[in-house]
A and B are shown apart, each in its own frame.
Chain A
Amino acid sequence: MSLSLDKNDITARINKISSIEELEKLRIEYIGKKGFLSNEMQSLSLLSIEEKKIKGQELNLFKSFFEQTINNKKSDLEISALNEKLENEQIDATLPPRDFNTGKIHPISQTIYKIIDIFSSMGFSVESGPDIETDFNNFTALNIPSHHPAREMQDTFYIEDKINNEDKVLRTHTSPVQVRTMLETKPPIRIIVPGRTYRSDSDATHTPMFHQVEGLLIDNSSSMAHLKGCLIDFLKEFFEINDLQYRFRPSYFPFTEPSAEMDIAFTKNNDVWKVGAGDQWLEILGCGMVHPKVLENCKIDSKTFQGFAFGMGIERLSMLKYGITDARSFFESDFRWLNHYGFDPLDLTTSSGI
């Protein structure tokens, strides 16, 4: 095929090419060192200056046209070659992914996070204290003398203390932290104390170790009206039920006077508990106005200051909120259970959820 400077002709030729190799061959034919254009350029020397100028310009225009056309084509061919290659690189995306981490937060922790979040919004801060306590902090300071029948309300674990000659106790409630706080700080006080507690009791519904959260508020004016407001607000938010049905019953604790227990309504269908409404009552917490003797035992003037305290079982709250039926299952480290009832570590319990 003869070579020409006809643009239409050259465009047609390039369009027909389907491989980069052919394209390269054509390029060399035209603009290679010994190619068509090179020859044409050499033959310019035979022409007059005027002709040389015209012809030369024509050749240069042709060259840039040729280069552009062939580069465009080359780029097209490269893309289609790549596309063809990619088309043949199919994987099975339905295959399982690499392992990813699935850690879980225990429901007791998640419950405590939620409790802290709610009480924090009411101005309470969190306190903690040791599990092995003195008899004074666990009982005596709380107006439970050693031979009071109320001691038998709480089956206590004892540990011999050879140095101090008086048995230590495993705290039966987290109230000793209230005692410690009152002895160390001046009112106003607003604290909650979540933590491990122990009673020598073990059956289907009792475990020798369990968790409680207790609260204490001391100032110079808070009354039972505030106690009720605080606890009702807490439970409504905790269970996310606005019209929660509840009642306060008079009760007895040596460390509060007046004392009350709070019940919430529930229904039970096929072993599934539904709290908030219903015809049965479930005891959910104990509370009361701090007994003046307890304030005095903790070096707080009971004529100036007063306040309230409350305590509730974290496992029970957790069971009711998350539908867990067996109290013992919390402590069995069964991976199936932990995976089922556990929470994603980023499942935050803040009211905003972030």
Chain B
Amino acid sequence: MKFTLSWLKDHLDTTADIKTIVNTLTNIGLEVEFVEDKSEKFKYFTVAKVVNATKHPNADRLKVCEVQTNKGNFQVVCGASNAQTGMLGIFAPIDTFVPGTKMHLKKSEIRGVESCGMLLSERELGISDEHEVIIELSNVHKIGDPVAKIFGFDDPVIEINITPNRSDCLSVRGIARDLAAAGLGSLIELKVNKIKGGFVSGVKWLRKFNQKDKYLCPGVAGRFFKNVNNTSSPEWLKSRLTAIGLRPISALVDITNYITHDLGRPLHVYDADKLSGNLTMRKAVAGEKCKTLDEKEYLLSEDMVVISDDKNLHGIGGVIGGLESGCSLETRSVFIEVALFDPISVTKTGRKLNLQSDARYRFERGVDPTSIEWGVDMATQMITQICGGEVSTIEADKSSIQKNKIINFDTNSTKTLGGISIDTKDQTTILNNLGFLVKSKKNTVIEITVPTFRPDIDGPADIVEEILRIYGFDKIIPISLSKDINNNKETLSANLKSFYKSKRLIANRGYLETVSWSFIDSKEANYINNNVSIDIKNPISTDLSSMRPSAFPNLLSSINPNVARLYTNGKLFEVGPNFNGLEEVDQQMVATGIQYGSSSSSSWLNEARVTDVFDVKSDIYYVLEQLNVPIEGLIFKTLRNNVFHPGKSAQLILGKSIIANFGELNPLLLKRFDIKAVVCGFEIFIDKLEQFQIKKTSTKKAYDNNPYQVVERDFSFLFPKNIKAIDLINNIKKIDKQIIKKVIIFDVFEGKKLPENKKSIALKVILQPLEKTFTDSEIEKISTNIIDLISKSFGGELRH
């Protein structure tokens, strides 16, 4: 919402300066977006007289002018054809900024003649594109007059960000009312001359709706004007509209725009000579088309309200008028529309047609229903004043206008809800100034009548806000919160603990944390998730068109740009959501990490080693162990998907839950991202770790300080190739879980020296006696058990 200071002062009698007004507006909830004070920009430009203009000695098209200003005479070289002795123009002295051409003016020499300033064209002043001639002023102006005053630039423009609830402040008058209530002067009474009609209108307003649809247009009024003269608007009107960014068109159109912004009352004017018969408000017929003032044709549907005469459509209700009956400078007969429309219906229509207008903006936020009466009078007053003509009696078709809302309000509410006690008298004054009527009731309760221009006010909480915003939010004294010591709920739930903790743990393994979009290209989503991508209906671009089923595509796409920055190896992770469906259960929190290039960079100490599966395995084991996952219990499963290398990856399962996936990433996936390096990665399914985060007790199990000598025994076996290490380890431990503390694999090899399809595995078994030191025969017995188990269950042959 834009307006000028002088416009505001039509409604507000105030001595406050612009700064106070701006601060007050913001403090009462009308946030000032910007203030433009052009007079500052133009303060060095003044009226000057060309006392002598002669031809430039060295150029045919140039003139040398002697210019008289209030600061003395200057010589100016000028190229304009109309520069001539005796004229009044606008002089810009040297060392000033010319806004239209964005040029800093310097003393210069043009074809050998010194030029000390400039006579400005309209383009140079920044008020039009005219550049052929310099501005020529009439004799009413005097040498030295500031230019800002002449062109109305001395009137600052204020723009306010009006929140959607404040439809009353989509008018200069509404803003003035709020400022008056805030103590910045008084609201000037609105004078409306009721002009009596001299004849009966030939056009009538009709509403044709089923009973249940009448709410779509609760009423419409208007009157007929004949013999009007639709000229261009007077200067004051044009300059106000121009100041707020509207283009003056003709008096009739400008008047409707003016009243829309001045009083928040949208109007429409029809060229009555182009109407056939009466005007009817009705629902559109599906498939009907309407050509509108924006010179477009819209296809309408049944839920829209249209204005129609006997032959044609003349507008879309509450949104825009029709092209055919629009007013032009030739218009002599006018019929006006002052209507009310249902806000939701206008919103739906506007959205469907993708059509924004000042009228729609106001109707969808709510227009004062009583304006159907005073709106006709305001329009009549301005039209007859500016365009002359004669007016008919008023034509209207309306349901009963909604009554004012009544709210019973306990004045203690400012304390209980707002946190500040305010005297009932002060509360009443504020409400009265805002247009509310207040009656005392029992005790602290008052009865409040809400003005019709405040559709946003519904209940006591709204009243508290009205009082407080005028009284001042700054007067509420803050009270610090204290922790409720009876509430011993943990800050983080078990689930969130693993989420937040996992980040620190993974970063502690040398990974950089990133945050990437929850979206990916649907091509990648489909590739990873077997063509069941979750697509966004209105994505901002195709590469962000689906919800990600995996974070790997985002992490992978960062590799090449970073390689280009000479990060030839890297570790990157993200803990964020993956999406496998639309429901809450389909969203998984996943810690996804990748590492590429060498696991350690090549240096004087060692040669670089390419990162491998056991690097990432080490990382996830660290993270899982720190998150209390019993890692000895993890079961390994083969992974078959488009993300991981089928032979160099595994899935970790505990009970029924998939805890993690890890391995080398599938080269076919890497190819899609044009990645040359080996990339290993992991996914840890954070939600599945919740059960391990539940805090039981801080007390640890008693320490077992076993004094007996620990013994180690090494074995080396030849196995069939498909034997899995974890099975060996787990089965050996099962022989005696108490005594066999650890099984360590210290060597694995395959190769030419061994028979085909065989591999050699060397194990170290750590034995801990429980009650006394082992005897040789006891150790021998355990060793035999181990060898027996391995040869029987795994086909292992002991190597000597």
B: contact size bracket: 35 or more
Q: Is the pair A168, B582 in contact by a Cβ cutoff of 8 Å? A: yes
Residues B468 and A250 in contact, CB atoms below 8 Å apart = yes
Interface residues on chain A, size class = 35 or more
In the complex, are the beta carbons of A335 and B419 less than 8 A apart? no
- Residues of chain A within 8 A (CB-CB) of B555 are 333
Q: Does A258 contact B (CB under 8 A)?
A: yes
Do B518 and A333 touch across chains, with their CB atoms under 8 A apart?
A: no
| Closest B residue by C-beta to A231 | B478
Return B227 CB to nearest CB of chain A, in Å: 41
Across-interface contacts of B512 in A (CB, < 8 A): 103-104, 335, 338-339, 342
Q: How far is the CB of B651 from chain A (nearest CB, A)?
A: 25
Question: B508, A226: Cβ atoms under 8 Å?
Answer: no
B462, B513, B554, B587: the one contacting A131 at CB < 8 Å is: B587
Whether A142 is near chain B, meaning CB under 8 Å from some CB there, is: no
A170 interface contact, C-beta 8 A = yes
Contact residue among B462, B478, B517 (Cβ-Cβ distance under 8 Å from A257): B462
A102 within 8 A of B: yes
Residues from chain A with a CB closer than 8 A to the CB of B537 are 157-160, 167
> In the complex, which residue of chain A has the Cβ closest to the Cβ of B563?
A335
Q: How far in angstroms is the closest Cβ of chain B from A124?
A: 8
Q: Please indicate the chain B residues that have their CB under 8 angstroms from the CB of A217 in the complex.
A: 481
Please, which residue of chain A has its CB at the minimum distance from the CB of B490? A125
What's the nearest-Cβ distance from chain B to residue A208, in Å? 5
Interface centre among B468, B513, B561, B579 (most CB of A within 10 A): B513
> Is A229 touching B478 in the complex (CB atoms < 8 A)?
yes
Distance of B744 from chain A, by nearest CB (Å) = 24
Given A103-B508, A333-B554, A333-B555 in contact, is the A157-B539 Cβ separation under 8 Å? yes
- Are the CB atoms of B513 and A159 closer together than 8 Å? no
Say which one of A21-29, A58-66, A67-75, A145-153 lies at the interface with B: A145-153
Known: A157-B538, A170-B536, A229-B480. A196 touches B576 (CB 8 A): yes
Interchain CB contact (< 8 A) of B503 among A109, A126, A200, A332: A109
Cα(A128)–Cα(B484), bound, Å: 22
**A24 to B480 alpha-carbon distance, docked (Å):** 86
Per-position contact with A for B688-726: 1 when CB-CB < 8 Å, else 0?
Answer: 000000000000000000000000000000000000000
Greatest chain A CB density within 10 A among B29, B348, B415, B570 is at B29
> Is A188 in the interface zone, CB < 8 Å from B?
yes
A306 to B492, CA, bound (A): 24
Chain B residue numbers with a CB within 8 Å of A121 are: 483
Tell me, in angstroms, the Cα distance from A106 to B502 when the chains sit together.
13
Kindly identify, within residues 279 to 324 of chain B, every residue whose CB is under 8 Å from any CB belonging to chain A.
Answer: none
Contact A229-B481, Cβ < 8 Å, known A209-B519, A223-B415, A292-B461: yes
Complex CA gap A125/B495 in Å reads 13
Say yes or no: is A15 at the interface (Cβ < 8 Å to chain B).
no
Tell yes or no: B166 within 8 A of A by CB. Answer: yes
A251–B28 CA distance with the chains assembled, in angstroms = 9
In B602-620, the 8 Å CB interface with A consists of: 603-606
A-B contacts besides A127-B493, A132-B534, 4 pairs, CB < 8 Å: A228-B476, A250-B28, A333-B555, A342-B512
Interface residues of A (CB under 8 A from B): 95-96, 98-99, 101-106, 108-109, 112-113, 116, 120-132, 147-150, 152-153, 157-161, 163, 167-168, 170, 188, 190, 196, 198, 200-202, 208-209, 211, 217, 221, 223-230, 232-233, 247-252, 257-261, 289, 291-292, 306, 330-336, 338-339, 342, 345-346
23 CB < 8 A contacts A-B: A101-B510, A103-B507, A103-B513, A106-B514, A108-B515, A109-B513, A116-B491, A123-B487, A124-B491, A126-B496, A158-B536, A159-B582, A160-B535, A190-B484, A190-B487, A196-B518, A208-B544, A226-B419, A228-B477, A258-B465, A333-B516, A335-B570, A346-B504
